[in-house]
């Protein structure tokens, strides 16, 4: 069966520090992968999606970037975090029938 792993679960980082969040998928090949962010009390905002290795589409220009170095690995990064980067970050992959399967999320607090 397909599973999605996302870590860390929580993260507290100072303003100006770098960020790297990793997401991996098991049990499937060439998945579509997605990064969403949810600010406190808000809806889910699509940040990036990838249909294959090295292929990244950005939905919202901002202080973040994404990379897909391997088929089942999706990384979200920032060189210098801002306070506004705080939020709940979710990785997801697209299944054949049921739409998305989401990871458990990373709650990022920038202080």
Partner 1 sequence: DAKTTQPTSMDCAEGRAANLPCNHSTISGNEYVYWYRQIHSQGPQYIIHGLKNNETNEMASLIITEDRKSSTLILPHATLRDTAVYYCIVSTYNFNKFYFGSGTKLNVKP
Number of chain residues interacting with partner 1 (CB under 8 A) = 22
Give the CA distances from residue 78 to residues 15, 30, 64, 70, 94, in Å, rounded to whole numbers and listed in that order. 11, 25, 5, 19, 24
With binding defined as CB under 8 A, does residue 59 bind partner 1?
yes
Q: Taking CB under 8 A as the criterion, which residues in 2-41 touch partner 1?
A: 32, 34, 36
With binding defined as CB under 8 A, does residue 56 bind partner 1?
no
In sequence order, the 6+-apart residues with CB closer than 8 A to the CB of 58 are 47, 48, 66
User: What residues make contact with partner 1 under the rule CB under 8 A?
Assistant: 32, 34, 36, 43-44, 46, 49, 51, 59, 88, 90, 92, 94, 98-105, 107
């Amino acid at each position: 069966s397909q599973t999605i792993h996302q870590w860390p679960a929580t993260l507290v980082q100072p303003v100006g520090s770098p960020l790297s969040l990793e997401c991996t998928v098991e049990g499937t090949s060439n998945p579509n992968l997605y990064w969403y962010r949810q600010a406190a009390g808000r809806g889910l905002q699509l940040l990036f999606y990838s249909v294959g290795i090295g292929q990244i589409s950005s939905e919202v220009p901002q202080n973040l970037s994404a990379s897909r170095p391997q088929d089942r690995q999706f990384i979200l990064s920032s060189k210098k975090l801002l306070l506004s980067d705080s939020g709940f970050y979710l990785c997801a992959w697209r299944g054949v029938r049921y739409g998305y399967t989401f990871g458990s999320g990373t709650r990022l607090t920038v202080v």
